[in-house]
Amino acid sequence: MNVYETIEAYRVIPVVVIDELSRTAPTLAQLSAGGLPIAEITFRTACAREAIALAAAAFPDMLIGAGTVINAAQCRAALGAGAKFIVSPGFSEEVLAAAKAGGAPYFPGCVTPTEIMNALRLGLNVLKFFPAQVYGGLRAINALGAAFPDVRFIPTGGADNSNLAEYLKNPKVYAVGGSFMMKGDITATTAEAVRIVREGR
């Protein structure tokens, strides 16, 4: 499974927080039923590594990644558990090195020109933009995109089904991340996001 091709095909990355290991399979099953075979499982809970391992084993057709990865040890643990991509809230050269060593794409959070320039210097041009609304949303993405034409963003934080289409029609947006489909009826909200993506093509 090619990470970039899969993300480009679906254009939405669910950010999944697993507080109890027993919630892993039911949660991912609901995402899958909604038509979205991707999950970024955050590494900020005690059972994150185990949840990633369970997800990778139980849902081989889903693209499982690790989010909120802030150091190399976490990155190596996530990759060892079966994560296929790594996401950080900020930019970390040690996480980049660990991800490269493990053969996994790395999407660091970058919101300033300096961070973006550092990422480009190290060969990265698909970057998380987090928290998107706090840092200016699409207005900021447009401004930064003008200065860095080779960069595309994954805005996360502030997007939901009410503004998803607006984000996705922007050529600087590679995909949209968020936990918005994890509230309420996960399958129904996910299916609506998938429909918005499909109709926007």
Active site residues per annotation: 40, 128
Residue 11 class from Cβ within 10 Å (0-12 exposed, 13-18 middle, 19+ buried)?
buried
3-class secondary structure, 32 = helix
- Confirm if 111 and 140 have CB atoms less than 8 A apart: yes
- Confirm if 4 and 29 have CB atoms less than 8 A apart: no
Find the angle CA(110)-CA(111)-CA(112) to the nearest 5 degrees: 105
- Confirm if 190 and 29 have CB atoms less than 8 A apart: no
* Residue 9: both structure tokens together: 């095909």
User: Over the range 98-123, which residues count as b (16 or more CB within 10 Å of their CB) and which as e?
Assistant: bbeebebbbbbbbbeeeebebbeeee
Residue 14 and residue 29: Cα distance in Å, rounded? 13
β-bridge partners, 129: 155
